[in-house]
Chains A and B, each alone.
Chain A
Amino acid sequence: MLFLIRQIGGFTLRQLLEMGRMFLFLLSAFALAFRPPAKLRLIVYHLKTVGVDSLSVVILSGFFTGMVMGFQGYYSLRKFNAESWLGSAAALGLIRELGPVLSAFMVTGRTGSAMAAELGTMRATEQIDALYSMAINPIKYLVSPRIIASLIAMPLLTAIFDVVGIYGAYLIGVGLLGVSSGSYIAGMESAVIFHDIYSGFLKSLSFGLIITWVCCYKGFHAPPMATGVSQATTESVVLSFVLVLVWDYFLTSIML
């Protein structure tokens, strides 16, 4: 019994220690982001890797998600003779929930895993030590620009996901299932208010932070070997997904 308590206690302490390290990592990345000289060139470079390079996968997934919403929404609303509300249902679902969450998942898979793998490899090949030895803070150089770039790119990607998704639902609802175009647009206009947009924006912003924070932390502290890099990549993706969903629940419950 004593052994079990000791094991649980040890595990809890290790987790608390890890959480503390993660928060300190985030704090120092933030603090260094605002310390001159600004790394504008790196921020622009990472805007490309996080934003532009994720664009195709976000557009594709947004389009198909919207089309699925068109089918499912139509099927559900028809039971209540409310097919004309398809526009508002699709728009609210995408803007408030699916847009931020699914684009966060896409960015995690497309860019977050790459961040963890790249930083993990840099750790394994002593490139991070080399930065330290050249008196360059690797958190400022490697992490802070990625966080700023994600904070800019994530809401934009989510907005694109939303627009493409709404168009996908429109194509299915109006083009295939015969919902009136006017009622689709009018329903959307009347149902979506600024609070919904703001809620989605806030979610995408925080998801961008979570993904970059987790993936950079895991990669930065990866054990310096091949299995360490793969382990860090897997952990970063799984933890990002879980944290995005948990944080989504909290934000939704607060901002409903």
Chain B
Amino acid sequence: MIRVVNLHKSFGNQKVLKGVNLEFVSGKITTIVGTSGCGKTVLLKHLNALLLPDAGEVFVDNMDITKLRQKELYEMRGRFGVLFQGAALLDSMSIFDNVAFPLREKTKTSEADIRKKVDNRLEQVGLEGMGYKFPAELSGGMRKRAGLARALATDPEIVLFDEPTTGLDPILASSIHQLIARTQRTFGFTGVVVSHTIPQVFDISDYVAILANGVIEEVKPAKEFQQSQNPVVQQFIRGETEGPIQVL
């Protein structure tokens, strides 16, 4: 269980998060939606302490990760897998080596087992036989798939997805969504997805939260969220410029 309590974060004079409170249910996918630049990625990066808050706490299994020592912090991060917006594959390595990287660096797995596991992960994301390619040789969708394979390589308990379908065409976006849902069912991890691809993202989410004006305005099971009468939710779903969400 991840719990965010009264989280505040500013960059210079710009207050991005103004007291975020949110709980992520174990073994379920929670999607955080919101307008571009509202702080979704900032919130996501607090969940594995890639960013530290100005105030507030982030609890992972009742342990406040904002106060961990470096060694404990690295151990805690080992429980996470992250799919970054641009996949963030190490461009000096092949796709195979990228997926094998966390296994080689953080585990004592034998090279034969690593090969077996990497091949398995690449197959699960539809990239079998592509391991020899380098990130620059792949399309955006393939890079995301490779990023997902790497995120799942160490069998993480929690996987964070930072805008996994941004910049992809609707068909590819849909296939990535299905991939996330399928892998979640297979591995049973707790998923946190940051996205503004609505309504498609509702199909894979168990819960949806909306971040607006620096706070979580609403959290509901996905189906109920779409029916919500909250004006913030309605404005976001309808894409209206007038309403409670402050647009530039």
Contact = CB atoms under 8 A, between A and B. Distances in A.
Contact of B82 (A122, A125, A133, A136): A133
A1 to B, nearest CB: 26
Nearest to B75: A135
Nearest to A124: B86
A255 interface: no
Given A126-B84, A129-B45, A136 B90 contact: no
B105 A133 contact: no
Contacts, number: 48
Chain B interface size range: 20 to 34
Given A134-B105, A134-B106, A136-B102, A127 B91 contact: yes
Given A135-B74, A135-B75, A135-B78, A130 B106 contact: no
B80 A133 contact: yes
Contact of B74 (A125, A130, A137): A137
Nearest to A127: B88
B77 A134 contact: yes
Given A129-B45, A129-B50, A136 B106 contact: yes
Contacts of A130: 82, 84, 88-90
16 contacts: A122-B90, A125-B86, A126-B86, A126-B88, A127-B89, A129-B50, A129-B84, A130-B82, A130-B90, A132-B77, A133-B82, A134-B101, A134-B105, A135-B74, A135-B75, A136-B102
Interface of A: 122, 125-127, 129-130, 132-137, 141
Interface of B: 45, 48, 50, 74-75, 77-78, 80, 82, 84-86, 88-91, 101-102, 105-106, 154, 160
